Structure formats: C-alpha cells, structure tokens
Amino acid sequence: MWENRCKIAISGVGYSKVSRTADVPLAAHALTAVKEAVSDSGLTMNDIDGLATYPELPATGHAEVDGISIVSVNCMMAMLKLPNLAWHIQVGSVNIGGAVQQAVNALLAGVCKYAVVWRAMHNPRGTYQNLPSGNAAGATQFTAPYGFGGPGQGMAVAYTRWLEKNNQKREKMVTLAVTQRKHTQHNPHAYFYGTPLSEEDYFASRMVAYPFCLFDCDIPVQGAVAIVLTTADRARDLKPTPAYLAGYGERLHFEVAGRIGSLASYMEGGASSAKLTWERSGFTPKDVDVAQIYDGFSASVIYGLESYGFCKEGEALDFIQGGRIELDGELPLNTFGGSLGTGRIHGLWHIIEGALQASGRAGTRQVKDANVSFVGASAPIVTGTTFIFVKEPY
C-alpha cells in the first residue's frame, strides 16, 4: 500500500452559479468558487499558498482569452493577490485530476500548506465545436469533409462497437440518464436542479450521434468549482469534516492525433489507472460504498464500471439496472447528478462529490455508511485519473 495514504485531505469545496450564457466573465465564476472553498474550510486568503488548475477550453474555433474563456493560474493570482503564495501549477493532459494530484504531491513535499484547485468552464456563444477554417489539417482531413469532427461523434463510434460486441441495446442507457437526473434534484448547484427527466423524455429526445441521444451528452455551461487540499493533521483542525485521500492513479494514453479513441483505449486507460489506485489504497471494487464516474457522455460510465473492475466486460448496462445505482442501492453512482445533471465542469465536481460523501457532507443525497468513496475523474482516453477518499484514516 501507499505510504502516504490518508496524509492528504480535502477540507473545503466551493461553487459558482452555472448557466448557459456567458454574460458573467469566467474569471468572476472562478473567483466565486475559490472564495467559497476557502471560506468553507474556515481559512482566509492569507493561509492559501498553493494554486493549481487545468485551464484548457475544450470548445474548438474559439479564442482562449484569459479571464473570459479560460482562467489561468496567472489570472487567479492577479485576482487574489495572495501574500504567501509558494507554489503553483497549471497542467495539460486534458484532465483536472492531474492538477489535483500535483497539488497532493506538493503538499506531501512540504512546498505549500494549503492548496486551492479550481476548474472553470466557458460556454462560448454560437456553435460549441465551431470549425475555425474551411481547410482540414492532419488526421481531420480524412474525417471533417464528411461532417465527422466533434468528440460526441468519435465516442459514438467506440460505443457502437461496445454495443455490437456485447450484443447490447442502447435503450438500456435510459436507466443511467433518468437515475442521475433524479440524483440531480438533491443538488441545488446543478444546472438541471428542478428539472426531472422521465423515460419518455429520454426516448423522445433527438439523436446527436447514434447511439447517443441528447440526454446521453453533458450540457455545456458557464461556471466553476473549487477545492482546498491540505495535510491531514492540518485538516483535522479546520471547520468541516475532512475527506482523506487513500490513493490515486493516473495513466497517460497515446492516440493518433485527430482520433477520439478506440474502445480498447478506453478500457486500457481505465484499468491501468484504477490498478494503481487499488494497489495504493489497499481496497478493491467490492469495498466501495459510493462511486462517481466521469460522464461527459453516458458511455464513459459504462467503460468506467467495467475497466475499474466493478463488473465484467460487456455487463455494465445490465449492472446499472434494478435500482443498483440509486442512492440506497448496492453501488450509488454519480450521486450529485454527474455532468449529465450538473453541467460540463469536467471531473472536479466528481472529486468534490466523492469527498463530500466520504466526509458525510452531501446533504439529502448522502449515502448511508459511505466510508469508501471512489472517483473516476476523467474519460481515460488521454489521461485517466482515479481517486479513493475515506471517512477515517487507516
């Protein structure tokens, strides 16, 4: 097991309002989330000496303007004017989980005492995946002329392969979409809070890229979330009950430029990331009481359940049936509503929920006896990151 298990904890979380419009600058959203996370911890800005984020804008064809469409470390430093800043980083690799893991490593190394990690997502006006020119370069020259270019289309190909390989039907996915939206009604920060989803709604929705319908896709939003991490001994002295990090894993995966990824790459990335997390924590999938699995598209949850070891390959759509993923089920899943319910803020909201469940702070969606909380914070196509949080150090 990992010698540093339970030495780092999440001690505070924060949110901005999420909306479909970009009327409020993204920097304001990020600042709100960071201030709320610091306040939730019972700290002041004078205590914060570490900053980390993954700032990339995933929408294509839109300029990255700091403070408007992304919020970099430089932008946050300028807004906060932290007097004691000792460490900062912003990561690439299409993964906010990597920023969290770097903050963990910095805290373990003693280069900072209290680190804030945020993820801010911009929803630009107009088409989200707007092709910037009439010319296709690289691998896209073979796909863009045929209208194939967005991530949903690429992931739909892998999901189609999964369905055919395992003799499954896309209609079974309605259980995931409806259940997660049900969980969303316990999360007042979520975009779809107050808007339930029925099976009829799911089947009546338009097809985006077969086999994905509208409600298989997360919704782009303008908003931000943030967390505060610190060492376990410091966290015990702070206001909220901490969630202790028992283990984490990260796995880089190479795909040919311009490709979204094969089914095999999803499964390999998830399995190798989770293997590190299970080994470092000493837990197995059977020990998990509650799970958050990244759901930019519904199929990512299916890949995660299988590659992380919660069920056998080809069985995930059957695994989620019969109430198993409800709040009182055998494996409560995406209890905050997931990205399908909250909006596209990437995996930091999954990490927040994993920590809240472990610390008993999830409110009306709190899972009973959630002592071991698993998080798959990204679709493991480029970088897979997984975490386990626990209620008590061991």
Domains along the chain? 8-125+219-390 (3.40.47.10)
- Residue owning tokens 């006006």: 125
Tell me, what's the pLDDT at 257? Answer: 45
Banded model confidence at residue 265, pLDDT cuts 50, 70, 90: confident
| Model confidence, pTM | 0.96
Cα separation of 47 and 349, whole Å? 23
Burial class, 83, CB count within 10 angstroms (exposed 0-12 / middle 13-18 / buried 19+): exposed
Average pLDDT over residues 163-177: 98
Helices 263-281 and 298-307, interaxial angle, to 10°? 50
Tell me, what's the pLDDT at 10? Answer: 99
Return all residues near 277 (Cβ < 8 A) that are at least 6 apart. Answer: 247, 248, 249, 374, 386, 387, 388
Banded model confidence at residue 198, pLDDT cuts 50, 70, 90: very high
Cα separation of 45 and 85, whole Å? 10
- Each residue of 236-253: pLDDT tens digit? 999 999 999 999 999 876
Banded model confidence at residue 154, pLDDT cuts 50, 70, 90: confident
Tell me, what's the pLDDT at 260? Answer: 62
Whether residue 130 has pLDDT greater than 80? no
Instruction: Specify the amino acid at residue 67.
Output: G
Average pLDDT over residues 35-39: 99
Instruction: Specify the amino acid at residue 260.
Output: I
Average pLDDT over residues 36-48: 98
Are 37 and 355 a contacting pair, CB within 8 Å?
A: no
Tell me, what's the pLDDT at 131? Answer: 62
Average pLDDT, whole number, for the chain? 94
Cα separation of 374 and 268, whole Å? 18
Q: Is the peptide bond before 211 cis (omega within 30 degrees of 0)?
A: yes
Banded model confidence at residue 8, pLDDT cuts 50, 70, 90: very high
Beta bridge partners of 89: 52
Cα separation of 269 and 199, whole Å? 32
Min mean pLDDT across 10-24, 227-241, 251-265 is at 251-265
Return all residues near 63 (Cβ < 8 A) that are at least 6 apart. Answer: 69
Min mean pLDDT across 43-47, 110-114, 281-285, 381-385 is at 381-385
**Could you tell me whether strands 8-15 and 50-53 are parallel, antiparallel, or unpaired per DSSP bridges?**
unpaired
- Each residue of 178-195: pLDDT tens digit? 999 999 999 999 999 999
Average pLDDT over residues 103-122: 98
- Phi, psi (deg, nearest 5) at residue 273: -65, -45
